Amino acid sequence: MMTPLAAAKAYAATQGAAVPSVGGGAATGGADFGAMLKNVMEQAVGTSRTAETQMAAHVQGKAQLVDVVTAISAAETSLETVMAVRDQVISAYQEIMRMPI
């Protein structure tokens, strides 16, 4: 099970690559959240495809088992991070919906 601390560490590890350039921010001067999420999702899909490629290469005898395990582990961590962020977004949405107007 993914702990909040592990999710925070995984999220922090992806921050450096996921943050858009300084000039590409929104009108308020902050980073574009939608673009950041799109980038993170593309990276998650990329790590999954890399893991699939490594598994196929191992079946063909072209890759070492340690490479396959490393790729699968990276894909699993990426997926768990995406799921943790999704859960937090849903939780925040539900909290907003409970607020009185």
How far is the C-alpha of 54 from the C-alpha of 64, rounded, in Å? 9
Please write the tens of the pLDDT for every residue from 31-47: 787 888 888 889 999 99
Q: What is the DSSP letter of 1?
A: -
What number of helices (H) and strands (E) belong to the chain?
3, 0
pTM above 0.75, yes or no: no
What are the residue boundaries of the structural domains of the chain, listed by start? 32-101
Low-confidence residues of the chain, pLDDT below 50?
A: 17-26
Tell how far CA 24 is from the center of its chain.
21
- The dihedral built from the CA positions of residue 8, 13, 18 and 22, taken in this order, carries a sign that is positive
How far is the C-alpha of 6 from the C-alpha of 38, rounded, in Å? 22
